[in-house]
């Protein structure tokens, strides 16, 4: 069962349950709170094991190979005993050759089996990693806009790259390492007992303190790992904010480059400290155990030489036993170290499962309604909406009726609720009460992909991908032909400009399209929307940041884009909406008045005041 996220310490947990270090960039990284430690421990090993369920047959083959390899390798000490006690004293060359050949054959066989084991286990691990990455990415794609508004971009990137990357060693090698070492330990103990059960009991005296100290080290590393991953997330945030084109421009114009570099340096220095602490955690304890393990065979040699033990054991048996004992401690320590790694990695699994357990606020309906012929009749029926972090309603009792093929303009002061209406039309949010319909069908009854094909949005903030103009346009319609792309660009009044570029439609737009002006980016965005051919068009303050001449060019493209479509336009400049079929004045989430430009002017209300 996934960890519960309701027990986090106050002041540490964000709205979506993400743990963020306090005071990052301004001071030293803090330690984990008891609540955070409890949460990290709460990640179920059963849930981690469920990641491998689809690979049970391959893992069974790996386990079989491991068992076979371990059993075969146990023959070497017995062959060595025969070499020392029989073949060499009796000068039996034929027996010696067979024994040596057997030892070489065992080594060759176990090596070949090791290659097969590594191949299969790595393939399984990489498939599990691939599934985990894609599941997290797909689940985050389903999250609402509100989630990304509340969450730092660098935090999301860090979980997908750093956290999942940190889990790779555990996922790809832990299961096989446990099986290999456990099998080797059991087989070695059996072989040791067959040689001398008394010495076997003496050898196991070091096991209880080894287990105790290993558990202590595992707890230390788990806490450090969680802290390190949060610091990595902070570092990603600084990179995202400081090295994006917008961030660089802001830093240069505000003279903040030095402060940003200092902030990055401090975070990187803290990360170095955490990495060192993670690597060195408990090393002196492990070093002590290695000394103890080395002392036990020395004690056995000493005991074998004492007068009362003389003749009780042959030299061959003694050499074979100490060889087995050395072979026991290596896998035993590896097995304990796997426990340390797995326990420390629970912090990583916790962070990933936390994202996978996020509730999807905007979901596809179980049985979506299919609109065979979309006319584009849009209605708001007594819609009320409040953002999750606010007790005040952003919209209250809004009712609108926009017949198919007509235009609606929304005007009002900043923060009045105009963009919230636009977001509800695109179903970026769902109404708290009431409903929004297209052709009489509630948006919540439509598949999200179908709705995206019906509603097209052009906003003030145009986002272009770091690729060619052609691929930016094709993002709206992956199967679009070059002719369709050119036709959309002509309609958006941008084809001539693109054609004059040296590389034409294959010109790279640069990061976020910063090589183009605001009006050029808007027209590329309009062409992209035209290519999708939506029946309902939402223009959210799409010309507010443009100069008059550019606005006129973009407005001509809008006129082409709006022809025959249901259009909802949000604008501050009333000159751009005066020809709308109806105009609604929004104030504090309510509709104050609505009508045509002429009727609203004659009424002498808020619209007339805005016009003056």
**141-194: per-residue pLDDT in tens?**
888 877 887 777 777 777 877 777 777 767 766 666 666 777 777 777 777 777
Report the distance separating Cα 389 and Cα 49, nearest Å.
37
- Find the distance separating the first CA and the last CA of the chain, reported in whole Å: 62
* Closest by CA position to 329, among listed 362, 300, 358, 364: 300
The more confidently predicted of residues 370 and 76 is 370
Q: Phi and psi at residue 324, in whole multiples of 5°?
A: -65, -40
**What is the predicted pLDDT for the residue at 24?**
37
Exposure of 112 in the CB half-sphere (CA atoms within 13 A): 8
Indicate the CATH number for domain 378-611.
3.40.50.300
Instruction: Give the pLDDT of residue 438.
Output: 94
User: Which own/partner contact pairs does 109-115 have at CB distance under 8 Å and 24+ positions apart?
Assistant: 109/69, 109/72, 110/69, 110/72, 110/73, 113/65, 113/68, 113/69, 113/72, 114/69
Three-class secondary structure of residue 112 per DSSP: helix
Please give the pLDDT value at position 270: 82
**Beta bridge mates, 400:** 380
Tell me what the pLDDT averaged over the chain comes to. 77
Give the residue-averaged pLDDT of 510-519. Answer: 74
Which pLDDT band, with edges at 50, 70 and 90, does 410 fall under? very high
- Any long-range contacts for 488-491 (C-beta under 8 Å, 24+ apart)? 488/527, 488/528, 488/530, 488/531, 489/524, 489/527, 491/527, 491/530, 491/557, 491/560, 491/561
Q: What is d(CA 610, CA 522) in angstroms, rounded to the nearest whole number?
A: 26
Residue 487 has pLDDT above 80, yes or no: yes
| CA 488 to chain CA centroid, nearest Å | 35
Tokens 């290993």 belong to 214
Q: How far apart are CA 560 and CA 203, in angstroms?
A: 86
- Tell me whether strands 536-540 and 566-570 are parallel, antiparallel or unpaired: parallel
**Other C-beta atoms within 10 Å of 572: how many?**
15
- The pLDDT score that the predictor gives to residue 185 is 75
For range 327-349, the mean pLDDT = 69
CATH superfamily of the 43-356 domain: ABC transporter type 1, transmembrane domain (1.20.1560.10)
**Residues 216-241: pLDDT tens digits?**
666 666 667 767 777 777 777 777 66
Domain ranges of the chain: 43-356, 378-611
Angle at 329 between CA 326 and CA 331, to 5 degrees: 115
CB atoms within 10 A of CB 388: 14
Q: Are 382 and 433 in contact (CB under 8 A)?
A: yes
């Amino acid at each position: 069962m996934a960890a519960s996220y309701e027990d986090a310490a106050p002041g540490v947990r964000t709205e979506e349950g993400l743990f963020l270090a306090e005071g990052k960039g301004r001071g030293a990284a803090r330690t984990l709170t008891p609540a955070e430690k409890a949460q990290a421990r709460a990640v179920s090993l059963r849930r981690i094991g469920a990641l491998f369920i689809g690979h049970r047959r391959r893992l069974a083959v790996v386990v079989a190979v491991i068992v076979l390899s371990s059993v075969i390798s146990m023959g070497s000490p017995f062959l060595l005993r025969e070499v020392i006690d029989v073949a060499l004293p009796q000068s039996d060359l034929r027996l010696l050759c067979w024994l040596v050949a057997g030892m070489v054959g065992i080594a060759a066989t176990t090596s070949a089996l090791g290659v097969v084991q590594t191949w299969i286990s790595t393939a399984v691990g990489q498939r599990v990693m691939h599934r985990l990455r894609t599941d997290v990415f797909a689940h985050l794609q389903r999250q609402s806009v509100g989630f990304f508004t509340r969450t730092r971009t660098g935090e999301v990137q860090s979980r997908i790259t750093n956290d999942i990357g940190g889990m790779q060693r555990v996922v790809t090698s832990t299961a096989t390492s446990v099986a290999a070492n456990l099998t080797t330990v059991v087989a070695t103990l059996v072989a040791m007992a067959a040689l001398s059960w008394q010495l076997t009991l003496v050898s196991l005296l070091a096991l209880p303190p080894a287990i105790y100290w290993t558990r202590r080290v595992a707890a230390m590393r788990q806490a450090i790992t969680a802290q390190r991953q949060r610091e990595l997330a902070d570092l990603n945030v600084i990179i995202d904010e400081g090295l994006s084109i917008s961030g660089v421009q802001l830093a240069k114009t505000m003279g903040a480059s030095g402060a940003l570099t200092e902030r990055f340096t401090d975070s990187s220095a803290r990360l170095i400290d955490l990495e060192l602490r993670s690597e060195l955690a408990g090393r002196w304890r492990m070093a002590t155990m290695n000394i103890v393990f080395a002392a036990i065979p020395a004690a056995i040699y000493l005991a074998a030489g004492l007068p009362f033990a003389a003749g009780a054991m042959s030299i061959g048996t003694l050499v074979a036993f100490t060889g087995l004992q050395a072979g026991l401690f290596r896998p035993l320590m590896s097995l304990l170290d796997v426990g340390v790694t797995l326990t420390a990695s629970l912090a990583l699994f916790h962070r990933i499962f936390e994202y996978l357990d996020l509730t999807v606020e905007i979901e596809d309906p179980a049985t979506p309604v299919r609109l065979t012929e979309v006319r584009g009749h849009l209605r708001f029926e007594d819609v009320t909406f409040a953002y999750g972090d606010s007790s005040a309603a952003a919209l209250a009792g809004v009712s609108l009726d926009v017949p198919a093929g007509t235009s609606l303009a929304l005007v009002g002061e900043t923060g009045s609720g105009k963009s919230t209406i636009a977001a509800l039309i695109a179903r970026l949010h769902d109404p708290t009460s009431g409903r929004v319909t297209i052709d009489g069908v509630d948006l919540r009854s439509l598949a999200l992909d179908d709705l995206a094909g019906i509603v097209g949005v052009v906003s003030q903030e145009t986002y272009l991908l770091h690729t060619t103009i052609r691929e930016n346009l094709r993002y709206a319609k992956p199967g679009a032909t070059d002719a369709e792309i050119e036709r959309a660009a002509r309609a958006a009044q941008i084809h001539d400009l693109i054609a004059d570029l040296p590389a034409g439609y294959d010109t790279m737009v640069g990061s976020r399209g910063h090589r183009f002006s605001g009006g050029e980016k808007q027209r590329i965005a309009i062409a992209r929307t035209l290519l999708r051919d939506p029946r309902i068009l939402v223009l959210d303050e799409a010309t507010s940041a443009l100069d008059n001449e550019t606005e006129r060019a973009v407005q001509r493209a809008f006129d082409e884009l709006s022809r025959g479509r249901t259009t909802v336009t949000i604008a501050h400049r009333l000159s751009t909406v005066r020809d709308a079929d109806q105009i609604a004045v929004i104030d504090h989430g309510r509709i104050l008045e609505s009508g045509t430009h002429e009727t609203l002017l004659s009424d002498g209300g808020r619209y007339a005041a805005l016009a003056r």
